[in-house]
Amino acid sequence: MTIQWFPGHMAKARREVTEKLKLIDIVYELVDARVPLSSRNPMIDEIISNKPRIVLLNKADMADEAMTKEWLQYFELKGVCALAIDAQKGVGLKQIVQLSKQLLHDKFAKMKAKGIKPRAIRALIVGIPNVGKSTLINRLAKKNIAKTGDRPGITKAQSWIKVGKELELLDTPGILWPKFEDQTVGLKLAATGAIKDEILNLQDIAVFTLRHLINEYPERLKERYGFQDFSEDIVDIFDHIGKKRGCLMGGGYIDYDKTAELVIRELRTMKLGRISFEHPKDVTEAPLSQQSLE
Ligand code: G4P
């Protein structure tokens, strides 16, 4: 898979985030709770370095609850602060401020001891496109100020958004790119809607999704599409869903694109329930900073 803009944009995004880091006390690293590994930028630990950080597992409302709990335990074991949130409904956001205060207690105590006037905590949200950065900023700010959509290349003066008295957010989040060359990462990101459907083949995304559902959530699939059992052959599975849901073309043949689209749409609109695509056991046992996503 070749993405033309990858190297140039990656370097630029990295430079921009590095510049912003100079202005802030803490980083909120937003990941998708359904794919907490694949939705991380592979160089994030290196970029953030030793800045205090909270990993926010966003879209937790769409992820398998039990799996999200395991991810929170995983991060805790690694000594990384993590919270599960739903930026759209505003669930879990109060804890962000509380945890930030705890993490920065010593730094602020030292500043006070040196006679530096107390100020609000300054934070930066970083994450890959579509992970919910603007939604979170808007929620925290309680009004619609952050623009949705990412436009690499457009820079403007930094300004701050007040979140109560204790927190200030940089109004533009740090946009980082996921690791696109890896096929499985790409499929997971496409299935969860983080990358545009045109980048990968729709049927490939649907096949990947269906295989994952057969392995991890077979009952959901049976219930939704009326399977008794699953055939070994993925074409049979497509045929069954296509027939059942009327995804047909002339002559009564199954329209595979339509069927693929239906499965992906139903996954993304949660008709198949809360589905996670990654488990902490998928992590190779390297330090968090050197994790392999292959
Ligand atoms: P970005 O700035 O990181 O690029 O992401 P953005 O906030 O634009 O969010 C991307 C999509 O994810 C939006 O949906 C947004 O509503 C949705 N989203 C963000 N946080 C959550 C969450 O915690 N739970 C759920 N379920 N969805 C979330 P969209 O379809 O692109 O737009 P719209 O439906 O909001 O119009």
DSSP characters over 12-26: HHHHHHHHHHTT-SE
Nearest CA to ligand 1 atom 4: 130
How far is ligand 1, taken at its centre, from the CA of residue 123, in Å? Answer: 20
Q: Which residues of 222-238 are buried (b: 16+ CB within 10 A; e: fewer)?
A: eebbebeebeeeeeebb
CA pair distance 178, 126, nearest whole angstrom: 12
How far is ligand 1, taken at its centre, from the CA of residue 109, in Å? Answer: 37
**Distances from the Cα of 270 to the Cα of 64, 107, 228, angstroms:** 11, 42, 22
CB burial of residue 66 (10 Å; 0-12, 13-18, 19+) = exposed
Instruction: Tell me the average pLDDT of the chain.
Output: 89
Q: What is the pLDDT of residue 9?
A: 74
pLDDT band of residue 143 (cuts 50, 70, 90) is low
List pLDDT tens digits, range 162-195: 998 999 999 889 988 887 677 899 999 999 999 8
The larger pLDDT score, comparing residue 146 to residue 281, is at: 281
Q: In the structure, which protein residues have their CB atom closer than 6 angstroms to any atom of ligand 1?
A: 58-59, 61-62, 86-88, 127, 129-135, 148, 150
The larger pLDDT score, comparing residue 265 to residue 195, is at: 265
Q: Per the confidence metrics, is the pTM higher than 0.75? A: yes
Residue type at 145 in one-letter notation? I
How far is ligand 1, taken at its centre, from the CA of residue 286, in Å? Answer: 31
pLDDT band of residue 285 (cuts 50, 70, 90) is low
Averaged pLDDT for residues 27-47:
94
Q: What is the pLDDT of residue 6?
A: 59
Nearest CA to ligand 1 atom 8: 148
Reading phi first (left if > 0) and then psi (alpha if -120 to 50, else beta), residue 261 is in: alpha
Q: What is the pLDDT of residue 94?
A: 94
Residue 2 has pLDDT above 70, yes or no: no
How far is ligand 1, taken at its centre, from the CA of residue 274, in Å? Answer: 16
Reading phi first (left if > 0) and then psi (alpha if -120 to 50, else beta), residue 253 is in: beta
CA pair distance 203, 66, nearest whole angstrom: 29
Q: What is the pLDDT of residue 199?
A: 77
How far is ligand 1, taken at its centre, from the CA of residue 33, in Å? Answer: 13
The larger pLDDT score, comparing residue 155 to residue 126, is at: 126
Q: What is the pLDDT of residue 213?
A: 97
Residue 154 has pLDDT above 60, yes or no: no
Over pLDDT 70: what percentage of the chain?
89
Averaged pLDDT for residues 196-210:
90
Q: What is the pLDDT of residue 124?
A: 97
Nearest atom of ligand 1 to the alpha carbon of 128: 3
CA pair distance 183, 13, nearest whole angstrom: 22
pLDDT band of residue 156 (cuts 50, 70, 90) is low
Q: What is the pLDDT of residue 41?
A: 87
Residue 245 has pLDDT above 90, yes or no: yes
